[in-house]
Amino acid sequence: MAVELPGTFMQRMEDMLGSDYEQFAESYQETPYGGIRANTLKISVEELLALSPFTLAPIPWCPSGFYTEAGARPGKHPYYHAGMYYIQEPSAMAPVELLGVQPGDRVLDLCAAPGGKSTQIAAKLQGEGLLVSNDLHPDRTKALAKNLELYGVRNGIVLNESPGRIAAAFPGFFDRILIDAPCSGEGMFRKDEDMVKQWEPDTPLKYAAMQREILASAAAALKPGGALVYSTCTFAMEENEGIIGEFLASHPEFSLIPVGGTGSFAPGLGGLPGAARLWPHKVKGEGHFMAVLRHDGSSASPEEAAVLKLNGRDKALPVSPRNKGGKAQSSTKAAAARADGGRGGKGGRAANKSGGAAPGRQSQGMGEEAALAAYSVFAEEQLGWQPTGYPVLFGDHLYISPLPKAALDGLKTIRPGWYAGHIRSGRFIPGHPLATALHPAESIRSLSLPGNSGEAVSYLKGETLSIPAERLSVRSGSSPKGYVLVCIDGYSAGWGKWQDGMLKNEYPAGWRWT
Ligand SMILES: C[S@@+](CC[C@H](N)C(=O)[O-])C[C@H]1O[C@@H](n2cnc3c(N)ncnc32)[C@H](O)[C@@H]1O
């Protein structure tokens, strides 16, 4: 590699690895591996393998992950724009595989931007339950929100908060928490020269202080009986086994679930063999550390116990009550709102015409009732069904949320849910993220453009297309005129508006193929 590795770092690695050190040092001469992960919210692994224009080889620790060959440019294919796969470093696919997410779980991804692992969690949830994706840095939440939208996530909320404030708002709430901690990034040195340039001998200790705090907050937000995964992409023991060992010593209600020493996962160091490491000289991937911690379920604080009691009401409350006035909630009411949400069914098919509304600010120009009615008319006419969830209005913008709006009171919220669209001149205009999360059968009109055609690229560039009516799939009894879900080889990419043989392009400017 072009950048020279710091001498202090290499000396420390030699001390850590002993006889393995030479092999480790040699691994820096190899080209880093590239990977993609099938977005199983939209496409099955088998379908992706059948369609893939790239040669794919399985990644041992991730059933939906594949190595791409050197020189492949998966970001430059229309399939990328249809959200069919996420481009991800192979080792980075491991932590979510250890998290044990099941559809219906409430999951918190505490350090989530740009969203690689959040999209992986969303695929595990399959639209059921709740995903809260958070990042402390506001500029990084833009990419996070965009990725969740590109990948068609319906049950996600994006926050820009400190872990401490999230724990205070959601004590003992989540079934699963991922802490993909900010770290000194030593495991990425082969891939990212900037990480090398930023590294100094005391960098690991600086990050350790942050990691300690983040882990303590995560523990407070975890439901007794729940599990969390702590991961880093660094080798420094201070940021890895050191953090976990210290945490276990001060949190007897947590135990380490051993994964190190199984399959591709090498054991942790320093008396913590149950923690797991991926070494770049042992696997085809960069350096990673992971530890799986389980709360034994026995020591809920009085505050946690109160929330758990409320949580018990989940199943009895299928829709949210109306929150008249949208004023700040008392913490008890906010907790009740949280307890009420996040267990909804699939953010999808089943119609829920009486679905509860948690009003936000009044929409400008028309009342909230009228705004929701305009949306409802759109859903009936253009989709033929009503997405389930809590409608949340921010100004003229409508989101379908997995939680009642009150549950997010006081939290810096970037996306309160699945963005459905906005109201303009009394009409509902569907948003791009509504389209990217739909399957063709969920829209009254759809059009599939071949992925290897110039047409797909023209659409992604924002051009108008000439499309005869016979090429549209239109539900029987409906007119071909109107919004069309434009798909690439059958996978949704955005909206178009068809009339008289022309498809007006609705692909958003900021997303276009360049
Ligand atoms: C390793 S990256 C996360 C990568 C991400 N999980 C993914 O798979 O795409 C760590 C993230 O933590 C964020 N971060 C830094 N300090 C934080 C804190 N105290 N709380 C939450 N997030 C933090 C950074 O902005 C950064 O985006």
Question: Is 132 in the same domain as 29?
Answer: yes
Q: Could you tell me if 189 and 112 lie in one domain?
A: yes
Answer whether 288 contacts ligand 1 (Cβ < 6 A): no
The predicted structure's pLDDT at residue 368:
84
- Show the domain range for 370: 312-435
The closest residue, in CA terms, to atom 25 on ligand 1 is 137
Question: At which of 267, 295, 323 does a domain end?
Answer: 295
Q: Is the CB of 214 under 6 A from ligand 1?
A: yes
Residue 44, token pair as written in the block: 């099955």
The H or E element containing residue 219 is: helix 203-221
The answer to whether residues 412 and 426 belong to one domain is: yes
- Is 185 assigned to a binding site? no
Cα atoms in the Cβ-side hemisphere of radius 13 Å centred on 73: 3
- Residues 356, 230 share a domain: no
The verdict on the CB of residue 276 being under 6 Å from ligand 1 is no
Ligand 1 center to 132 CA (angstroms): 14
Query: Same structural domain for residues 176 and 84?
Result: yes
Question: Which pTM does this prediction carry?
Answer: 0.91
Cα-to-centroid distance, 114 and ligand 1 (Å): 8
* Each residue's pLDDT expressed in tens, for the chain with a length of 514 residues: 556 899 999 999 999 999 999 999 999 999 999 999 999 999 999 999 999 999 999 999 999 999 999 999 999 999 999 999 999 999 999 999 999 999 999 999 999 999 999 999 999 999 999 999 999 999 999 999 999 999 999 999 999 999 999 999 999 999 999 999 999 999 999 988 899 999 999 999 999 999 999 999 999 999 999 999 999 999 999 999 999 999 999 999 999 999 999 999 999 999 999 999 999 999 999 999 999 999 998 654 544 444 444 343 332 222 222 232 333 334 455 666 666 555 544 443 332 322 233 333 444 556 788 889 999 999 999 999 999 999 999 999 999 999 999 999 999 999 999 999 999 999 999 999 999 999 999 999 999 999 999 999 999 999 999 999 999 999 999 999 999 999 999 999 999 999 999 999 999 999 999 8
In-domain check, residue 499: yes
Residue 202 counted as an annotated binding residue: no
494 lines ligand 1 (CB under 6 A): no
Check whether 135 is labelled as a binding-site residue.
Answer: yes
DSSP secondary-structure letter at 80?
Answer: H
Distance 45 CA to ligand 1 centre (A): 28
Tell me the sheet residues that pair with 497: 483, 504
Does 306 map to a domain?
no
Q: Are residues 137 and 178 both part of a single domain?
A: yes
Residue nearest to atom 13 of ligand 1 (CA): 111
d(CA 340, CA 343): 8
Query: And the tokens for 382?
Result: 């253009």
Angstrom distance (rounded) from CA 90 to CA 66? 8
pLDDT score at 338: 67
Residues 373 and 257 in one domain: no
201 annotated as a binding-site residue: no
Q: Please state whether beta strands 106-109 and 130-134 pair in parallel, antiparallel, or not at all (unpaired).
A: parallel
Question: Of 242, 263, 295, which residue is a domain's last?
Answer: 295
411 and 471 inside one domain: no
Closest C-alpha to 113, from 87, 84, 142: 142
Tell me if 465 sits within 8 A of 457, measured CB to CB.
no
Residue 116 assigned as binding residue: yes
Name residues whose C-beta falls within 8 Å of residue 63's C-beta, 6 or more positions apart in sequence: 45, 97
Residue where a domain terminates, one of 435, 464, 486: 435
Measured in Å, residue 137 CA sits from the centre of ligand 1 at: 8
Ligand 1 centroid to residue 267 C-alpha, Å: 25
Is residue 187 situated within a structural domain? yes
∠248-254-259 over CA atoms, to 5°? Answer: 85
Q: Is the CB of 95 under 6 A from ligand 1?
A: no
Q: Is 112 annotated as a binding residue?
A: yes
Q: Report CA-CA distances (Å) from 175 to 129, 217, 300.
A: 10, 15, 14
pLDDT of residue 332: 53
Residue nearest to atom 11 of ligand 1 (CA): 111
Q: Is 171 in the pocket of ligand 1 (CB under 6 A)?
A: no
The verdict on the CB of residue 93 being under 6 Å from ligand 1 is no
Q: What is the CATH number of the domain that holds 73?
A: 3.40.50.150
Measured CA distances, 98 to 62, 117, 163, 497 (Å):
10, 12, 21, 43
Neighbours of 68 (CB within 10 A): 20
If asked whether residues 176 and 244 sit together in one domain, one would say yes
Examine the domain organization and report whether 376 and 456 are in the same domain.
no
The residue contributing the CA closest to ligand 1 atom 10 is 182
Contacts of 9 (CB under 8 A, 6+ apart): 186, 189, 199, 201
Residue 329 lies in a domain: yes
ipTM score: 0.99
Q: Which amino acid is at 41?
A: L
Residues 129 and 261 in one domain: yes
Strands 445-449, 482-488: pairing kind:
parallel
- What's the CA-to-centroid distance between 276 and ligand 1, angstroms? 20
CB 281 within 8 A of CB 20: yes
Task: Classify residue 304: in a domain, yes or no.
Answer: no
**104: helix, strand or coil:** coil
488 located within any domain = yes
Residue 116 and residue 79 in one domain: yes
Which spans in 18-51 are helix H?
21-26, 45-51
Answer yes or no: are the C-beta atoms of 13 and 21 closer than 8 Å. yes
Residue located nearest, by CA, to atom 27 of ligand 1: 113
Is 146 labelled a binding residue? Answer: no
Q: Is 165 in the pocket of ligand 1 (CB under 6 A)?
A: no
- HSE-up (13 A, CA, CB side) for residue 335: 21
Q: Is residue 190 part of a domain?
A: yes
Our answer on whether the CB atom of 111 is closer than 6 Å to any ligand 1 atom is yes
Q: 247 CA to middle of ligand 1, Å?
A: 20
233 among known catalytic residues? yes
Going by CA atoms, what residue is nearest to atom 1 of ligand 1? Answer: 182
**206 ligand 1 Cβ < 6 A:** no
Ligand 1 atom, smallest distance to 144 CA: 9
If one counts the domains in the chain, the total is 3
305 in any annotated domain = no
